[in-house]
Amino acid sequence: MRALLVLLIACDSARPTPPPPEPVVAVVAASDAAVDAAVSVTSLPAAPATRAHGTGDATWKRDIALLAEANNRFVTGWGTIALDGAHPIRFATLFPTDTGEGRGAYVLELAPHHVVEVTFYVDGRTSAFGEGDGVQHPVDQVKWFESDAKEIDHESGHHHGGEAIQLALRDGDLVLLSYNYTDDTRDPAEQPISKTFPSDFACRPRCPLAATYQPYWGSQLAVSKPARSVGELVEPVPAKLPEYVP
């Protein structure tokens, strides 16, 4: 028996020593904050700027066409424009079927579910943004126009004079960047007007709101209250033309 024990001890001593057991580490799900802390923000690629629209483009076009028809207008242009300098917003330009009586309009989606309508006087001397050739075509033939312009240039002429306005989007508001009026030289009571407002992207409140600015003559702009959709827009009422304001 003693000889057997000696043999077993000898065999055990000949075996390789097993490695020590690895320490047990508790597995805990990392939080989003922990992951963010572990990754340098500067090492991540910048995500492209995106902007959601309130509806798809097909719905937008349908609603614009219905709005134009309801107000005796036709679609002369539509697409996107970078009015805030970063994200394209959708627009549509409408002209009246009767230029002797009707008014034109810009429909602007300033943000998702934030749509405004800007109406204006139209005659043969009106030059509107995105108007195309100003001639009525079947709505399915009006091309979608993606503009990188940062402002809407609008001009309204009259006998021996005219008015030019620049509209833009600043801090979510539709504002004027400039206003110029060429006086009727035959009328001694009139004088030219030339105003340029701050054009940087923090111009509010130094540049005036389009909804409250009173142009002198020509464009007769009127801005609607914001609506959640094109179908909910209420036609704005233009203000009476004022006396001369320097």
DSSP letters for 22-75: PPP----PPPHHHHHHHS-GGGSPPPPP----SS-HHHHHHHHHHHHHHTTEEE
CA distance to 71, 175, 217, per residue, from 234 (Å)? 11, 20, 24
Q: What is the pLDDT of residue 35?
A: 29
The residue with greater pLDDT, 192 or 32, is: 192
Please state which of the ranges 1-5, 62-66, 134-138 shows the lowest mean pLDDT: 1-5
Task: Give yes or no for residue 21 having a pLDDT over 60.
Answer: no
pLDDT classification of 147: cutoffs 50, 70, 90: very high
| Mean pLDDT across the chain | 77
Quick one: what percent of the chain has pLDDT higher than 70? Answer: 73
Peptide bond into 20 cis (omega under 30): no
What mean pLDDT is predicted for residues 230-238? 93
- How remote is the C-alpha of 31 from its chain's centroid? 36
Q: What is the pLDDT of residue 61?
A: 96
What mean pLDDT is predicted for residues 148-162? 83
> What does the alpha-carbon distance between residue 66 and residue 103 come to, in Å, rounded to a whole number?
16
Q: What single letter denotes the amino acid at residue 87? A: H
Q: What is the pLDDT of residue 51?
A: 53
> What does the alpha-carbon distance between residue 52 and residue 89 come to, in Å, rounded to a whole number?
9
The residue with greater pLDDT, 145 or 243, is: 145
Please answer whether residues 96 and 72 qualify as being in contact, where contact means their C-beta atoms are separated by less than 8 angstroms: yes
What mean pLDDT is predicted for residues 14-21? 48
Question: What tokens does 163 get?
Answer: 């008015």
pLDDT digits (tens, 9 = 90+) for 177-188: 999 888 776 777
Of 49, 114, 52, 119, the closest CA to residue 86 belongs to 49
What mean pLDDT is predicted for residues 3-16? 41
Please answer whether residues 138 and 131 qualify as being in contact, where contact means their C-beta atoms are separated by less than 8 angstroms: no
Beta strands in 125-227 (DSSP E): 126-127, 144-147, 152-158, 161-170, 173-182, 193-196, 222-223
Would strands 73-81 and 144-147 be described as parallel, antiparallel, or unpaired?
parallel
Residue with tokens 């394209």: 88
Torsion of CA 194, 197, 200, 203, to 10 degrees: -170
pLDDT classification of 49: cutoffs 50, 70, 90: very low
Please state which of the ranges 47-61, 116-130, 136-150 shows the lowest mean pLDDT: 47-61
